[in-house]
Structure 1
Amino acid sequence: MLTSKEIRNLWLKYFESKDHLIVETKSLVPLNDPSLLWINSGVATLKDYFSGKKIPPKKRLTNSQKSLRTNDIENVGFTTRHHTMFEMLGNFSIGDYFKSEAIEMAYDFLINVLKLDKEKLYFTYFSEDLETKEKWLSMGIEESHIIKGNKDTNFWDIGSGPCGPCTEIFFDRGEKFDKRGLELLQNDEENDRFIEIWNIVFSQFNNDGEGNYTELTQKNIDTGAGFERLVSILQNAPTNFDTDLFLPIIKEIENFTNYKYDPENYFKKDKEIEKINVKFKIIADHIRAVVNAINDGVSPSNVSRGYIIRRLIRRAYRAGLQLEIKEKSFLFKLTEVVKSSLPFNINVEKVSKIIKDEEMLFSQTIEQGQKLLDLELKKNKDQFDLKIAFKLFETYGFPIELTQEILKEKGVTINISDFEKLKKEHAEISRSSKKEGMKKVINSLNLVQYKISEFIGYDSLETTAKILFLADSEKELPSSHNQKLSYVIFDKTVLYATGGGQKHDQGYIIQNNIKIPVLEVFKDKFGNNVHVVKGKLEKNKEVNIFVNEDNRIKLERNHSSTHLLFKSLREQYGSFIKQLGSDNNENRLTFDFPLEKKPTEEEIQQIENRIISYIKSETNRKYLETDIKTAEQMNAIMTLEETEYMDPNNVRLVEFKNITVDLCGGTHIENTKLIENFKIVSVENKGTGIFRIRAITSNQLVDEFYDKEIEKSKELLNNILLKIQQLDSNYVLEQINYDNKKNALEKLKFLIEKSREKHKELLKNTTKKEFNQEINTINFNSKEFYINIDLDSNSLKNNAAHLREKHPNITFILGSKQKDKIIIVVASKSLNSKELFIKITSHFSGSGGGNEIMAQGSVKNIDNFKENLIEFLKNE
């Protein structure tokens, strides 16, 4: 019996022998691809080669790519083949071989390498793709084993971009898995008998998005074979979980519980054993995904990828509870066995710690959730509000299934038919499919076969040029249309193309005395700058190209400042700081970097001050051209992703002497003094230990920023002063000098905090004065109440908190009459304040919120409110 490692190696070595380059598996986190949440297929890491954005290292590629999909997370454990993390075996042709060779290699590998029985293989094809059918027949496949499919089953199309027919290969596991026959394939029914093990997509058309199909100049092959499925078949395992990919993990889980996993139960069909098996499968599957995702840099959180990893950990943890695993953390102990089952490098110590911390957090969450459940059940023993179940899910990460289970034990049922609607937004975050994110193909660009254009915009802002390529999205043109987009490549250009985080230049073209704006500039796979225009151009006439100088200098300020920011961050925190993304346009710059905790205000100020010192140093910019080895010897930093277009023997460096030297193809300011000024305007937490700095440059933008912030701070300070003067009319603040805007803003912030403290102090003193007297209470049903609705609204909350602590057996209802409403606060240690508050506001047409010990809001101002309130409380 072949092991999983042997099967994976056989695949890679076979296609290597067929002149394919082996591509190592990539991280589960996509690199520079916001269209994908996860790498979700074998081709996902290669799509820039297929779309024509990049030149592949070789036209024939093969891989075994780890992938992650969570759109079927609820099915994992209950079916034989659903997984969160899986491997996809692939062989790819990018403009090289096509249908015939792809089919021949598939047949050869399955029959002659894996030694599968040809009589157990079945093949599907697209009904219009008779070429594929004839090829399978020529390979000796009987016609009864070839199934005709339709556009839904055998045509890969995402609505816009490359597409084409596909052929699938199925393995028949026999009647013991399903007594039904070929109708399962013919009707495309889900089953455990005919297992899809191979799919070859023949990418030969381009869909313009309107359902119009044209032949691709470059035809491609995208093959995907499910690794876990192949292993299952070759190891004669009833399900994917009964292979050497999962069984070692399951055996390790058995060490923590008295329950045992039974692989023979697939055929025995014992319902109780199946319930136990499902829990083992959930844990084994999810821990594989979690370990690999965390190892690739994702940490549990409430957003994006982190949200999904948290969800997987908690689903696995819950399964452990159902297996009666008593340890508060056990999943982290499975990291080592996961590592041994896969050929990927895993940092066991780091990954284990993150998983353990999350387990401990969730163990507390379960206790909190149980308390909330018990509280709600005390209110209503017969029904349970679905919104509370959703709150448990969203706020505490409490699985709805666990809520159901606990309620069932107490004899309470819950209708969860609408639960999916409530969590739809959260489910969308985990949706990922192979169809996401494929680039729309500009088919005509495949007609360009090499680098034909030169960028001369480092030193020039205008030039005369010849048109070498002029086309619409499908074909070359002798002249362009006034109202349609055209794609133009010149022999030389001064307009910078979007790349390395820097936005493209603004500019225009003049031909025949007509000025045509350039809408966009991007690079093709050879590094040619492609200009997108809408206007009349004639290919046989020269043009003049101009850069918008004002816009260029704004771009250069922000791009150079990105380099200075990177340097300042490394000075602040250390050389481990990496650039995880940047985006520079004419208005601002952003910079993403890793850090364990959010930078403090003091640290941000130090980073900013350092950059201002770089600007004041008036350091000249210098461009250098050298080879990659020399750049490394100069300790040049690879700041941006522009290097994909650089020749390793001729790389471009930008140097600000004694500050930083970076590998970069962008444009930069001539001297740091031209940046003028720099201000960090925000620091955002992007989740999973990644932060984004947003900053602005130039005196004008920084001054405008300070003006807006000063006005906002003035307004806030005035509001606080009004509240203070209601309590102390003699309180005044010192004057502020606004000549230096930065100092003025800092002074305002200081005075805001000082005034807030003063207001708190006055309120505290007011509270003491207000209630430095005997509390006269009213008794209703053996409960004591104090009611006073003639208080100052500013002191209500503080009064209520003070009195509640001083008199824990009394329930306080304090109010302040306004023009058309009465503001009220309910505070109690002996009753549930929120419950009482809701009853009052429901009866007296009000609203608000709070918690068990204090709630606040307002009710309608009616005559004799206090008397009506007393009467209401008597009857409660």
Structure 2
Amino acid sequence: MITSKQIRQMWLDFFKSKGHLVVPSKSLIPVNDPSLLWINSGVATLKDYFSGKKIPPSKRITNSQKSIRTNDIENVGVTARHHTFFEMLGNFSIGDYFKKEAIEFGYEFIFNVLKLPKEKIYITYFVEDIDTYNYWIKNGVDPSHMIKGTRETNFWDLGQGPCGPDTEIFYDRGIKYDSRGIELLINDIENDRYIEIWNIVFSQFNNDGENNYTELATKNIDTGAGLERITSIMQDAPTNFDTDLFLPIIHEVEKLTTFKYDINNYFIKDSTQEKINTYFKIIADHIRASVNAINDGVTPSNIGRGYIIRRLIRRSYRAGISLGIKEQSFLYSLVKIVKDSLIYDIDIKKVSNVIKNEENLFAKTIKEGEKLLEHEISKNGNITMEIAFKMFGTYGFPIELTNEILQEKGIKLDLAEFDKYLKIHQEKSKKTDEIGMDKVINSLAVVPDYVSEFIGYDYLKSKSKILYLLSEEKQLKKVTNKNDISYLILDKTPFYATSGGQNHDYGYMMQNGNKIEVLDIFKDKYWNHVHKVRGVIDSSLPIECFVDKEKRLGFARGHSSTHLMYHALRETYPNEIIEQLGSNISYDHFTFDFGLDHKPTKIECQNIEKIMRSYIKMHAKRNYIVTSIKQAQDMGAWMTIEESEYHDANKVRVVEFENITKDLCGGTHIENSGLIEDFKITSVDSKGTNVYRLRVITSKESVKKYLLNQIKEKQTLLKTLIKNNQNFKSNYSKDYPKELPNDNLLLEELLKKYDDIEVDIRNDYKNLLKAKQNEDIDLSTYKSILINNIDTYIIENSDPILLKKAVVQLREKNPLALIIGISNLQNNNYFIMLASKKYDSTIYFKKMQEIFDTKGGGNKIVSQGSLISQLTTSDLIAKIQKEVLNA
């Protein structure tokens, strides 16, 4: 039987052979795309290439993109092919090939690669798209298998923007799935017989928003083929759940319950078994979505994506209860089997812990919640929305789960009423940020168009006219209270508004002798700069603006560095497709997110720093070029900024650093690369699967301050290590320079020297440890005493390593004894270890914690930790014997 992994690879290999670049699946969390909650299709991660926002790495691309859709979770497990998590196979042409080639590829893959029988394949097409019909026929499809479609069924159109006809490929599973024939396709009737496996969209026209269509100069191909659907057909499975993508998970769940999943029930349709199958399907589907989403950085919560994942975990947990699973937590144990069924790198330990914690949390509340529902139903035969909302607010029950429980009891709940309760609750709490909503400045509706000019590229101060003075709700003439917050739109402003990864400028305004505090600057829907300010203002008078020069220079250094570093990354990883996934630029540091198949190593980071310092030495001149997106593409500009930065496609700004890079960008920049002064990567963090974040500082002063702090911390560490290890190695230098060098490169060299010393010390310690592990211990020197009829050893050794070895060996030789080991370290600090094969060591360890200042823990066989006491070792042993062992 062909596996899903083989099918996925066949797709990628086939389109690679046709000149397509294979791009890896991206994170389920959209990057810089607030229009999407999840990545929900193969094309969703490529939107910037199709829109012209970014230059594609290839005009032909193929992928297998993990996706999530959660608009109708209640149908999961009920239907044969509905999932929250799925994989979409795609092949894409960005201004390259079009209908003829796309259809040829489709025909070849279906019949020559998958080797599906021709009599089983049916094709739908848009009735006016004669070219598509002719291409399929020319390739060898029987005309009787070509089905005309309408604008509703075979024309992809979202209103204003690119659109076009599509062609859909269906597989006929035969009469046993539905006795009706081809009329199911002709009349677009939902059925389980004709399964759509592939959709090819021809992006051919532009819709002006009034349904006037013109031919696109550059045409594209966007396709989607469901891996789950193709796998079910290739494995002759009644539903997608009966394939190797889901069955291993289902079989793992079967080990936890007396119930069994029955594939054949699709045809038998036993109502009891159908419910049982549904519970298994819910768990298998939801755990796939939860594992992958959590691995990509989503945490269960009460807002946004976190709420969806919490709901999936809780819905599948309740399905487990319905299957009679008694364990308080069980979903976490399925993480590994999910990983094994897919191809993605999943952090099993991290994901398992998150899911287990969520299960335990829900287990504590579900009993109380269901008890409350049962009580209300028994009292009134129904429940009010007030109670349902209390379930949500107090017990953490998703309203959808409450609704499902009630539906099983034949009780209807009006979910629209829940929305009203939620709105009232939000207004009362006045904490919109806690539910994931941004504050809306309703008064901005009075601003009709783009009225404000940004002059901050050339000026850091201005005398401006106030066009609009606003509160959150209305337009104002004056603000008389110095503590009141208002919003200003000026005819011209030197203040940069947060955008393109760069945070807003700092500074202040002056009017009539009043100093006005600038709190925030952001852009409205027309790209006007809106200034959030605090102070006394008169809208009829001019106002002076002053940008903080030093902070602006910091922003400029950081923003220019992001572009130059992006180029340095491409030099460091010449064989990788390096994609910028976001940046956050402040005046004192910046972060840069990008995709890579491994965590950047220390040596790779040093290479990036070396390249950046070479750019700094070049003093490369910065040039601004205002042009169109098309011309920017022609000159090889990299498009790495947010879409809002070039809302006018005919007027975009290219930032060029001569002989290094050209990028589209609306941010502020330094005049030449030399003004960056210095460059240091201070940390590398993982932000999800194959996504990493560099934290960077620039300027000589910032880097020097960082290096001096690192050197100080390293000196402190080395002093401690040398002190603790001088008994076995005495030639580590304790002499530190009385005066540290003033040059940053010399400081780097000194820090590296300290790093090398630390490595030597730690290696010596490891060697010592190995040597001690091989030392023989004379156990005959240790004698037992009888305490409370327990054969007890209380031993001491000044060396904790030898003490551990002695305790373990005594335990093995005397399994019926209790062994207590004590090592006097220093400064009233003792290492203690308790071990036994017969007696629970944790009981005695807890007694010690009650009497002494003790930290640590363990299990029944061995417990260990530290103990702080002013007593001598002999007095400590006597106190342990009296108050712990004799108690």
Unaligned runs of 5+ in 2: 1-25, 46-66, 87-236, 252-259, 326-330, 368-390, 403-417, 424-434
- 1:619 counterpart residue number: 620
CA contact (8 A) 2:313 2:355 kept: no
2:254 is equivalent to residue 248 of structure 1 = no
Q: Could you tell me how far apart the structure 2 residues matched to 1:450 and 1:620 are? A: 36
2:820 to 813, 821, 827: 813
Q: Judging changes above 3 Å, is the alpha-carbon distance between structure 1 residues 690 and 601 closer, same or farther for their aligned structure 2 residues?
A: same
CA contact (8 A) 1:259 1:323 kept: no
- 2:538 counterpart residue number: 538
Amino acid corresponding to residue 545 of structure 1 in structure 2: C
Deviation at 1:800, TM superposition (A): 0.8
Deviation at 1:861, TM superposition (A): 6.2
Counterpart of 2:344 in 1: which secondary structure? helix
Amino acid corresponding to residue 651 of structure 1 in structure 2: V
CA contact (8 A) 1:501 1:584 kept: yes
CA contact (8 A) 2:262 2:277 kept: no
CA contact (8 A) 2:853 2:869 kept: yes
Amino acid corresponding to residue 550 of structure 1 in structure 2: E
CA contact (8 A) 1:847 1:857 kept: yes
- 1:68 counterpart residue number: 70
2:552 is equivalent to residue 552 of structure 1 = yes
Q: Could you tell me how far apart the structure 2 residues matched to 1:851 and 1:773 are? A: 24
Q: Judging changes above 3 Å, is the alpha-carbon distance between structure 1 residues 307 and 668 closer, same or farther for their aligned structure 2 residues?
A: same
Deviation at 1:448, TM superposition (A): 1.2
Deviation at 1:827, TM superposition (A): 5.9
* 1:20-419 to 2 correspondences below 5 Å: 29-32=29-32, 67-68=69-70, 248-250=239-241, 259=262, 273=273, 276-283=276-283, 285-286=285-286, 289=289, 299=296, 352-354=342-344, 393-394=356-357
CA contact (8 A) 2:653 2:664 kept: yes
Q: Could you tell me how far apart the structure 2 residues matched to 1:440 and 1:843 are? A: 51
- 2:436 counterpart residue number: 437
Q: Judging changes above 3 Å, is the alpha-carbon distance between structure 1 residues 535 and 849 closer, same or farther for their aligned structure 2 residues?
A: closer
CA contact (8 A) 1:558 1:588 kept: yes
* 1:630-709 to 2 correspondences below 5 Å: 630-641=631-642, 643-709=644-710
Q: Could you tell me how far apart the structure 1 residues matched to 2:556 and 2:801 are? A: 53
Amino acid corresponding to residue 826 of structure 1 in structure 2: M
- 1:823 counterpart residue number: 830
Return 449-458 or 462-471, whichever deviates more: 462-471
Q: Judging changes above 3 Å, is the alpha-carbon distance between structure 1 residues 723 and 856 closer, same or farther for their aligned structure 2 residues?
A: same
Counterpart of 2:536 in 1: which secondary structure? coil
Q: Deviations over 1:585-621 (max 9, x none)?
A: 1111011122333222122211222212211221111
Counterpart of 2:545 in 1: which secondary structure? strand
Amino acid corresponding to residue 356 of structure 2 in structure 1: F
- 2:754 counterpart residue number: 748
Q: Could you tell me how far apart the structure 1 residues matched to 2:750 and 2:298 are? A: 38
Q: Judging changes above 3 Å, is the alpha-carbon distance between structure 1 residues 397 and 652 closer, same or farther for their aligned structure 2 residues?
A: farther
- 2:101 counterpart residue number: none
Number of residues paired by the alignment? 595
CA contact (8 A) 2:569 2:608 kept: yes
Amino acid corresponding to residue 666 of structure 1 in structure 2: G
Deviation at 1:712, TM superposition (A): 1.1
Q: Could you tell me how far apart the structure 2 residues matched to 1:572 and 1:315 are? A: 46
Deviation at 1:656, TM superposition (A): 1.0
Deviation at 1:647, TM superposition (A): 1.0
Deviation at 1:576, TM superposition (A): 2.1
Amino acid corresponding to residue 744 of structure 1 in structure 2: L
Q: Could you tell me how far apart the structure 1 residues matched to 2:671 and 2:810 are? A: 69
CA contact (8 A) 1:453 1:492 kept: yes
Q: Could you tell me how far apart the structure 1 residues matched to 2:789 and 2:38 are? A: 61
Q: Deviations over 1:475-528 (max 9, x none)?
A: 323333343222222222221111111111123333335443433221111111
Q: Could you tell me how far apart the structure 2 residues matched to 1:280 and 1:638 are? A: 46
CA contact (8 A) 1:786 1:812 kept: yes
Counterpart of 2:474 in 1: which secondary structure? coil
Amino acid corresponding to residue 524 of structure 2 in structure 1: D
Deviation at 1:529, TM superposition (A): 1.2
Return 668-677 or 762-771, whichever deviates more: 762-771
| Root-mean-square deviation (Å) | 5.6
Deviation at 1:658, TM superposition (A): 2.3
Amino acid corresponding to residue 808 of structure 2 in structure 1: R
Q: Judging changes above 3 Å, is the alpha-carbon distance between structure 1 residues 310 and 731 closer, same or farther for their aligned structure 2 residues?
A: farther
Q: Could you tell me how far apart the structure 2 residues matched to 1:437 and 1:602 are? A: 40
Q: Judging changes above 3 Å, is the alpha-carbon distance between structure 1 residues 667 and 729 closer, same or farther for their aligned structure 2 residues?
A: closer
Q: Judging changes above 3 Å, is the alpha-carbon distance between structure 1 residues 301 and 495 closer, same or farther for their aligned structure 2 residues?
A: closer
Q: Could you tell me how far apart the structure 2 residues matched to 1:831 and 1:392 are? A: 35
- 1:804 counterpart residue number: 808
Q: Judging changes above 3 Å, is the alpha-carbon distance between structure 1 residues 526 and 605 closer, same or farther for their aligned structure 2 residues?
A: same
Counterpart of 1:544 in 2: which secondary structure? strand
- What is the TM-score normalised by the length of structure 1? 0.56
Amino acid corresponding to residue 443 of structure 2 in structure 1: S
CA contact (8 A) 1:557 1:674 kept: yes
CA contact (8 A) 1:833 1:851 kept: no
CA contact (8 A) 2:807 2:833 kept: no
- 1:458 counterpart residue number: 457
Return 520-529 or 480-489, whichever deviates more: 480-489
* 1:833-852 to 2 correspondences below 5 Å: 834-835=841-842, 838=845, 841=848, 844-845=851-852, 847-852=854-859
Q: Could you tell me how far apart the structure 2 residues matched to 1:333 and 1:788 are? A: 43
Amino acid corresponding to residue 509 of structure 2 in structure 1: I
Deviation at 1:724, TM superposition (A): 2.4
Q: Deviations over 1:351-405 (max 9, x none)?
A: 93239x78xx69x98xxxxxxxxxxxxxxxxxxxxxxxx999349999969x99x
Q: Could you tell me how far apart the structure 2 residues matched to 1:746 and 1:307 are? A: 46
Q: Judging changes above 3 Å, is the alpha-carbon distance between structure 1 residues 277 and 783 closer, same or farther for their aligned structure 2 residues?
A: same
Counterpart of 1:752 in 2: which secondary structure? helix
Q: Judging changes above 3 Å, is the alpha-carbon distance between structure 1 residues 391 and 816 closer, same or farther for their aligned structure 2 residues?
A: farther
Q: Judging changes above 3 Å, is the alpha-carbon distance between structure 1 residues 655 and 783 closer, same or farther for their aligned structure 2 residues?
A: farther
Q: Deviations over 1:294-320 (max 9, x none)?
A: 6xx964888887998799699969979
CA contact (8 A) 1:500 1:640 kept: yes
Q: Deviations over 1:557-605 (max 9, x none)?
A: 1111111222222222355222222111111101112233322212221
Counterpart of 2:750 in 1: which secondary structure? helix
Q: Judging changes above 3 Å, is the alpha-carbon distance between structure 1 residues 520 and 396 closer, same or farther for their aligned structure 2 residues?
A: closer
* 1:511-530 to 2 correspondences below 5 Å: 511-530=511-530
CA contact (8 A) 1:455 1:492 kept: yes
- 1:722 counterpart residue number: 723
Counterpart of 1:814 in 2: which secondary structure? strand
Q: Could you tell me how far apart the structure 2 residues matched to 1:807 and 1:570 are? A: 58
Query: What is the percentage of aligned positions where both structures have the same residue?
Result: 37
2:867 is equivalent to residue 858 of structure 1 = yes
Deviation at 1:817, TM superposition (A): 4.5
CA contact (8 A) 2:508 2:518 kept: yes
Q: Could you tell me how far apart the structure 2 residues matched to 1:528 and 1:445 are? A: 10
Return 827-836 or 546-555, whichever deviates more: 827-836
Counterpart of 1:550 in 2: which secondary structure? helix
Q: Could you tell me how far apart the structure 2 residues matched to 1:275 and 1:303 are? A: 27
Q: Could you tell me how far apart the structure 1 residues matched to 2:604 and 2:85 are? A: 39
- 1:474 counterpart residue number: 473
Q: Judging changes above 3 Å, is the alpha-carbon distance between structure 1 residues 637 and 350 closer, same or farther for their aligned structure 2 residues?
A: farther
Deviation at 1:551, TM superposition (A): 1.5
Amino acid corresponding to residue 801 of structure 1 in structure 2: K
CA contact (8 A) 1:559 1:667 kept: yes
Deviation at 1:545, TM superposition (A): 2.7
